[in-house]
Amino acid sequence: MGRELVLNLLKRGNRIIALDINESGLQETVRLAENRKEALATQVIDITCKESIDELVDKAIATFGYVDGIINNAGIIQPFEKLNNMDFATIRKVFDINFFGTLYLIKAFLPHLLTRPEAHIVNISSMGGFLPVPGQSIYGASKAAVKIMSESLASELAETNVQVTTVFPGAIFTDIKINSGLKEAGVSASDCKTAPKGVTLPSIAVETILEGMEQNKSRVYIGKDCKTMNMFYRLNPAFACKLIYNKMKDKI
C-alpha cells in the first residue's frame, strides 16, 4: 500500500520522500515511478530508531525545501497467536514499528509542519484498532494506540494549519504477512491475479485515503468489512465481538 501511495501522489504532481527499511523495495518503487523519478527521493531507514528519524528532518527539508505532509503507513501484524503464547520480543517489535515509529515521525516533523501554510498528517490505524480480533491482540493494541494518539493530536491541532486524518483499513490485498515475517504468509499478493472475495485492492484503498486527506476528513474507513464491523461495533459491541471471534477462532 505504501508503494501505491507514492505512485498515486506522484501522479497528482507531488514530490515525495519514500522511506523503507527494504532497499530493494524502494528501488522497485523508483523503477515504477517512470517519468516522475525526479520528484521522488528515497531513504533506507529503520523507523524504530529515533535518532535516525530526527536526522531525517533536515535531510528531507534540504531535498525539496519543505515538507507539507507525512503519511505513516509502515506496519506489521503479529503471528496469529493468543496473548498467552506471545513472547515479549515480538510484542515489543510490533509496538516499536506500529506505534513508536509513527510517534517518532510525528514528533520529528510536527514543528516544521506547524510553520507551513497548510499541512497534513495521515496515520494508518486498522479495523483491529477499534474491534478486538482474536489472535491479534498486540497488533490491535498498537493500532488502538495509533487511533487514540491521532485523534487526540487532531484535537490539539484544531486551531492550527495542520490537519490529521486517521485511517482504518479492513482486509487489504498486500504482502503484510510476508513483510511481517510470518510463517503462514503464503503466496505473495503480487503473484496473484485477483484479490480474494471481500479484500480491498491497494489501489482502491489508496484512492480512498487520498480523497479523505484532500477533504480533511478526521476518519477514513476502508473496505466493506471495516465499514460493516464499525457499524456493528457501535450498535452492539458484544455481537460484533462474537462475530469476529467465530470468523477468526480457527486461526489461533
**Catalytic center residues:** 139
Contacts of 236 (CB under 8 A, 6+ apart): none
Instruction: Report the distance separating Cα 102 and Cα 149, nearest Å.
Output: 10
Name all contacts of 65-68 with Cβ < 8 Å and 24+ positions apart: 66/112, 66/116, 67/17, 67/109, 67/112, 67/113, 67/116, 67/119, 68/113, 68/116, 68/118, 68/119, 68/120
Interaxial angle between packed helices 224-235 and 237-248, expressed in degrees from 0 to 180 and rounded to the nearest 10: 140
Instruction: Quote the radius of gyration of the chain (alpha carbons, Å).
Output: 18
CA distances from 86 to 18, 126, 128, 144, 250 (A): 32, 21, 18, 19, 17
What SS3 state is found at 175? coil
Per the structure block, which three cell numbers stand in for 98?
Answer: 506500529
Q: Which residues make beta-bridge pairs with 222?
A: 169
DSSP state of 13: T
Extract the C-alpha cell encoding 99: 506505534
Written as nine digits, the cell of 91 is 510484542
